[in-house]
Structure 1
């Protein structure tokens, strides 16, 4: 018989029931006559505290809360990809069919389609001993992704019988498993997993392989490892969402989980519509074939916003267990932290800095720590990379969410509104950003790109830092009084900023750039610097050097050299040599 409790207090999304109702922590419950979904978040002998994931207007004391006996979980089976869910994995398209444009409270729909037939290939045999994580069947979920149906990590035993290959729903029996205690249970494609519990793995690997995004400032200057964590903080209009879009479209992750957490409804609608229209450049299929969207807008119930991050994370871990590289785009963790703050206030907890709860840091830590490159229970290797957007009020990076996030991520891509307003995109400020993965990834760059890749990257960053120091002087007394060797640094830094760091998302060659082209572009720019420096040391003024068109030519490499014709870059060094000799002849 289901456990029940009687409501005696309601405060926004927080509901309290009297006495000890027998509920467990994090148990999923149904609240009131409309069966609103909730979760137990506090227990005492006198009361049970419940967080309700839907609007509680109209709920009144005396109504009943019914327990389900299980924690808040997501359903894991084919049908997750190419779908749009709310914060607790209810498909918005199915809700729209049932309820129309406005979602009513207490709506109950299956998370995944239970009637659709999936073409299934069984990969185990009768009599075989299998453990948790073993792949028992393969289902082509989309044109891009083969879904590997796995035994739940909590089970192991012997296969008694299996069905033939064929078409099955996610709830049809695929095999019968005899457990170690001798009991027999039917196994389907479906698993249920608690959203707050990380899925188990065998081993965590150190960072060693970059998540290649095709964005030069990220791949070259501030790389992110597969299984790594990155924060993208920035004020309104600086390009957080667009940066995540570019990574989602062009990165070499197999699967994208996009979590729209507390963003404005019209912006989220635009994201959903744009993602639905995007074509995957690698396969030519719709990008949604390897994407799942979780939409929880700012006008949706605040408690579900807090759960949406964990729902998306659990879906990501499920695909990681199949051996895929998954990238999570969380947009934005600031809105998630605001949900924590509101619920904490309703619970009358002691506030910490700026009203956020004292456990903000530990919650952020628990979220980002679930990223990683793992060896799974079935022996395969997969990764979950987390890229969290942060929306500090007024672009103030000293506020608690940004500062606590910096403690737990190893990659920080700080967006600058001055760059954004100057139409320099991606508007990542190279002086504020950093990546702690660079040392870990250096062997990979040396082996797969070029041994000098990291050296060139460091030289580029050094030039940009020198430019920043010189600009302080220029602001005071102007550039004309600088010696020519310092003018050269300003000029070559401009070539780096405009010709290398700035990237055009609407240009067919510049929107995504392979690593080898990124290296060769650095090689040409630094070769121009080397030759110009030699001329300046011989007494040539920068005014003479600028009479040649080579500066504009090098700046335009990103547009003039197609990604599939990198041999054209060899000509640039010859042109620089010609420029060097021509200047010497003229001024001999």
Structure 2
């Protein structure tokens, strides 16, 4: 029997869980099509002649006895030009109208939006080529150059290369050995794309958010988690990262979040001017929208689809940032499906393989040297939404095992309208030392010392604030009171940042370092004045408004701000 046409019959339907009989030759993670609507479903278990599937579409209307057809391939993403600047669902199918989730879709590509792409050759026929070699580029496919590469595991003589001109979506642009290469390729989303080696040279990721870049920086190719309860500003922070970080390509996956939030993301990216290219920000962004009202198991696949798209651009030599909001909703999909299959629940009902699933996602991050010798990176930033803000719940604790940094959001800071509400006591970064060494190599030898001093002031200020609540601020010695003042100035003048400000929404590395140094210098001057006998109360009641407003200054204006502040402080003595 031909495996492409072999059919079985549905025996049971329970939401996204479907069981089928008489499907000979079916393999794990193969995609099958269910019923007349050809609803895609993935094989997750095989036993006793019964195949268990998770359906990626609404299964209403499926009946016992409906036909099951094999495709003989795993769940795959169709990679090629036309990804940038568009919105897709969790299976990388274009979303051109709403609400598309009400009408189940097949996995067949929809190329009606284009009659072809303009291909410009960039190789020489007759020469041997290997995986990742550039065959040419496609123009008009986004804000970054779209490079057509030899697919992984393909090598041989370049026997044919198309001439410059328009190429159809299904046409071959090259023939490598006996293999025809087109503009598009299918790649299994659960299989990491190969690379030659991991790159040892370190490069930091600049996010544009001072609290992250100055205190909890990460490197390109790292993975970090953003845990925080409801209302702490996770989505806004992730949107700021997507808009302002120094990546070449952004892949934003809305995993189980509210549809209005995804609409806001899309609207802002469409209107925002890209500081790197001068065009629109969305032209170098791929958006995967699997909102809370869309099919549940497509949510489970969406994070792997997103990381596959990121690896595709990584192989072109780009730095890609994957923003996943939120992995908790993804884990909830795993838990719901596991309960339907009767799997033995682990902690809080999550499946026992939750840690393995998280590792399969986060460990695909990295800065690598591709098979063709280019350097590319995939950085993963995943939000975690613990119920009730409980950071000891399974998804948060398991995630922390596989990431290099944690940007924990604090409810009290958010309620005090301090944004980004990143907790300096609960957050950390394992890349901070490497960033300090990189900064020293670039000539910024004081970066690590400034960070250490700021962290010390913030930690000591937090300890003294707790003590002051018991004994009162005025009972403390002057230097301790200046430490508390220094913590407040760091919070208000450096760590707080307005996403609505045209100047302060993003902060360059130079301006952030200069602002931090200014505040530390002011704290040192206050300590000196206390030693001279100046009243601590007078310093606490000093007008610090000009210092707090310094975060709106350009780097060149900070020197003038510094001189004015120092003169005003000196006048107190």
**TM-score > 0.5 by shorter chain:** yes
* Equivalent residue runs for 1:348-387 within 5 Å: 348-387=342-381
CA offsets, 1:389-414, max 9 Å, x none? 11111111111101111111111111
Q: State the number of aligned residues.
A: 570
Could you tell me whether the CA contact under 8 Å between 2:196 and 2:369 is conserved in 1? yes
Deviation at 1:581, TM superposition (A): 4.2
Deviation at 1:446, TM superposition (A): 1.7
Deviation at 1:115, TM superposition (A): 4.0
2:93 to 90, 95, 98: 90
Which residue is 1:181 aligned to?
A: none
460 and 140 in structure 1: CA distance in 2 versus 1, 3 angstrom threshold: same
Which residue is 1:474 aligned to?
A: 468
Which residue is 1:81 aligned to?
A: 84
Could you tell me whether the CA contact under 8 Å between 1:89 and 1:111 is conserved in 2? no
Of 374-383 and 280-289, the range deviating more from structure 2:
280-289
Which residue is 1:571 aligned to?
A: 560
Which residue is 2:174 aligned to?
A: 175
Say which SS state the counterpart of residue 295 (structure 1) adopts. strand
* Equivalent residue runs for 1:173-322 within 5 Å: 173-178=172-177, 184-206=178-200, 208-322=202-316
Question: 1 CA distance for matches of 2:435 and 2:263?
Answer: 37
Q: In the alignment, is residue 57 of structure 1 matched against residue 60 of structure 2?
A: yes
Could you tell me whether the CA contact under 8 Å between 2:101 and 2:295 is conserved in 1? no
Could you tell me whether the CA contact under 8 Å between 2:40 and 2:107 is conserved in 1? no
**Tell me, which stretches of 5 or more residues in structure 2 are unaligned?**
none
Q: In the alignment, is residue 40 of structure 1 matched against residue 43 of structure 2?
A: yes
Which residue is 1:339 aligned to?
A: 333
546 and 351 in structure 1: CA distance in 2 versus 1, 3 angstrom threshold: closer
2:420 to 405, 418, 426: 426
CA offsets, 1:196-223, max 9 Å, x none? 0000000112472111011100100001
Q: In the alignment, is residue 26 of structure 1 matched against residue 36 of structure 2?
A: no
Could you tell me whether the CA contact under 8 Å between 2:216 and 2:432 is conserved in 1? yes
Question: 1 CA distance for matches of 2:367 and 2:356?
Answer: 21
Could you tell me whether the CA contact under 8 Å between 2:6 and 2:69 is conserved in 1? yes
390 and 102 in structure 1: CA distance in 2 versus 1, 3 angstrom threshold: closer
Deviation at 1:112, TM superposition (A): 5.0
Question: 2 CA distance for matches of 1:110 and 1:55?
Answer: 19
Say which SS state the counterpart of residue 205 (structure 2) adopts. coil
Deviation at 1:113, TM superposition (A): 5.3
CA offsets, 1:31-67, max 9 Å, x none? 1121111111111242111111111122111111110
CA offsets, 1:96-147, max 9 Å, x none? 6xxx766312456515557433221111222110111111111124452110
**What's the TM-score once normalised by structure 2's chain length?**
0.96
CA offsets, 1:142-173, max 9 Å, x none? 45211001111021111112221112123222
Deviation at 1:252, TM superposition (A): 0.4
Question: 2 CA distance for matches of 1:159 and 1:535?
Answer: 75
Say which SS state the counterpart of residue 160 (structure 1) adopts. strand
**What's the TM-score once normalised by structure 1's chain length?**
0.93
Question: 1 CA distance for matches of 2:49 and 2:421?
Answer: 53
Question: 2 CA distance for matches of 1:173 and 1:517?
Answer: 49
Give me the CA root mean square deviation. 1.8
Question: 1 CA distance for matches of 2:541 and 2:85?
Answer: 55
Q: In the alignment, is residue 557 of structure 1 matched against residue 550 of structure 2?
A: yes
Q: In the alignment, is residue 458 of structure 1 matched against residue 461 of structure 2?
A: no
**Tell me, which stretches of 5 or more residues in structure 1 are unaligned?**
179-183
Deviation at 1:420, TM superposition (A): 1.1
Deviation at 1:189, TM superposition (A): 1.0
Of 319-328 and 229-238, the range deviating more from structure 2:
229-238
2:318 to 314, 317, 324: 324
Could you tell me whether the CA contact under 8 Å between 1:15 and 1:51 is conserved in 2? yes
Of 136-145 and 25-34, the range deviating more from structure 2:
136-145
Say which SS state the counterpart of residue 408 (structure 1) adopts. coil
Deviation at 1:79, TM superposition (A): 0.6
Could you tell me whether the CA contact under 8 Å between 1:135 and 1:151 is conserved in 2? yes
Of 321-330 and 59-68, the range deviating more from structure 2:
59-68
292 and 567 in structure 1: CA distance in 2 versus 1, 3 angstrom threshold: same
Question: 2 CA distance for matches of 1:268 and 1:516?
Answer: 32
CA offsets, 1:518-542, max 9 Å, x none? 1111211111111221221222221
Which residue is 2:439 aligned to?
A: 445
Could you tell me whether the CA contact under 8 Å between 2:119 and 2:167 is conserved in 1? yes
